[in-house]
Amino acid sequence: MGASPLVSSNKWLYALIAAWIFLGLFGHDPWKPDEAYTFGLVFHILQTGDWVVPTLAGEPFMEKPPLFFITAAAFAKLFGWALPLHDAARLASGFYVGLTLLFTALTARHLYGEKAALPAALLLVASLGYVIHAHLLITDNALVAGMAMGLYGFAISQTRSFLGGLLAGTGAGIAFLSKGLLGPGLLGLTAIALLAFPAWRRSVFLKSGLWAALAFAPWALLWPWLLWRESPTLFDEWFWVQNLGRFSGTHRIGGVPDHWHYVKALPWFALPAWPIAAWSLYAFRKKILTAVEWQLPLVAFLVMFAVLSASSLARQIYAMPMLLPLCVLAAGGIDSLPSWIRSPLDKAAAWGAAILALAIWGLWFAFLAGYAARLGASYVEFVPPVAPSLLLAAIAITAGWIYFVRMNDVAVRWAAGITLVWGLAMTLWLPYLDYTKSYRGVIADLQRSLPAGPGCITVRELTEPQRAVFHYFAGILKSAETKDCPLLLLYTSSRKPPVLDPKWQLLWNGGRPGDDREYFWLFTSSAPRPGRP
């Protein structure tokens, strides 16, 4: 495979990457589960200006530090005049994803030369497990950006100890204030593991470590100190329960207890990077013990894989940092990829994207023509609008794919194919997806049933994402439960009516279209109705 397509078409490849970043950031409500509760935390900052204690619908939520929420609130303030608040906030994800791609490309360029920079970024764009998460309003995007910056700091620390340490410490700080101890822990263990190789036991790398510690200190000290000063109890909740307790399993919070989770997920999650990375390691296996350019990404991946697999709880989203070293490794050996690996990957990218795109277009035309019931769609009552801007964007995305797929480059074909499928989903099918994933409709239906005049609402059993969107769309906060509160809002996981005291009379019930696992019930009582603040 020659490098000519990448060299001659850089400007169009940058346009491809930019299109991939922005597709899906706009035009839809916060989706459950992660986007909804994340925006709830951002919304609190927008309303109160308080960022020290992450707060969700009026209650402290100590799962994650506040850096991503602060960033999203800043974007919402800057662009909220032109976009809905949740769309403006989602620009924070685009910002951190852009940083991730930049530092991944810079790392590959420093280790393997200029020709590896774009392939590394394109392979990350092409990763099956990255595309959805990269476009959601989630803190993991800031975590991954910090990890990418940290790895680049390690890469240049062999020759530029100060700048390398500054970037490594800053990246660790960004990761820390995004998701806690995990990010700096992974970077720190990677640095320690690299000392097993003589090339990393040089004074320049050790000096870089000191600069990294100094750069990391403000990130690691300021917010935890402010939080502890605000509430030692909340500090303990964040540090001991949400960090150490989540990892050790003493507190079962999210994820599944499966130490083999990433062994099973990575074969598809890390496509197409992992087979190319495996070839790179095989082709340059004799250099692993002596060449720093192979040691850094290999050690980083092994550390991430071992630590994440050792955790008591696993989720596919937690595997995102592992994509960074895999894409860098793949970029290092992509030019030497033999035809027996390149050809199947090329065909899978081209034919897979073509078949999926035809299916997406065909189903959209069928849905538009009213054949949803015959196709077995769950939301037959939905009438899809034809938005000219979205339709033109879908046509442009399809035309762009036809241009890029003609390039004889496996990274370009995969990135273009992923952009095609994702782009069609985020244009042709965006109104439908938003209709099925948003809470806006069910909340509007609830509001139409609320009795006239002020009155408090007692909220029971709502999940964190549900509390966030009910606060955002309807201003409903969890009220203290008193005998005088005339309204009660309940959530159940089935359509079976809850059993309550006879004083409660059903006023309204409903759920999101086609979702039988989430149902909401609004009851009223005959108690006196005090004014709702």
Query: Which of 63-67, 125-129, 422-426, 486-490 is predicted with the least confidence, judged by mean pLDDT?
Result: 486-490
Query: Which of 6-15, 49-58, 158-167 is predicted with the least confidence, judged by mean pLDDT?
Result: 6-15
Q: Pick the closest to residue 72 from 178, 230, 148, 179 (CA basis).
A: 178
Whether residue 376 has pLDDT greater than 90: no
- The pLDDT assigned to 2 comes to 41
Whether residue 397 has pLDDT greater than 90: yes
- The pLDDT assigned to 33 comes to 87
* 366 vs 17 pLDDT, higher one: 17
Sequential DSSP letters for 33-91: THHHHHHHHHHHHHHH---SS-EETTEE--SS-SHHHHHHHHHHHHHTTTS-HHHHHHH
- The pLDDT assigned to 236 comes to 95
Task: Give the pTM.
Answer: 0.94
What average pLDDT does range 50-75 have in this prediction?
96
The pLDDT mean for the chain works out to 91
Q: What percent of the chain has pLDDT over 70?
A: 91
- Distance, in Å, from the CA atom of 441 to the CA atom of 455, rounded to the nearest integer, reads 22
Whether residue 184 has pLDDT greater than 70: yes
- The pLDDT assigned to 530 comes to 44
Chain segment 234-270, per-residue pLDDT in tens: 999 999 988 888 777 666 566 677 889 999 999 999 9
The residue with tokens 């850096």 is 67
Whether residue 378 has pLDDT greater than 70: no
- The pLDDT assigned to 533 comes to 35
Type and span of the H or E element at 480: none
* Residues in Cβ contact with 116 at an 8 Å cutoff, skipping those fewer than 6 apart: 108, 109, 328, 331, 332, 334
| pLDDT band, residue 11 (cuts 50/70/90) | confident
Q: Pick the closest to residue 147 from 112, 186, 201 (CA basis).
A: 186
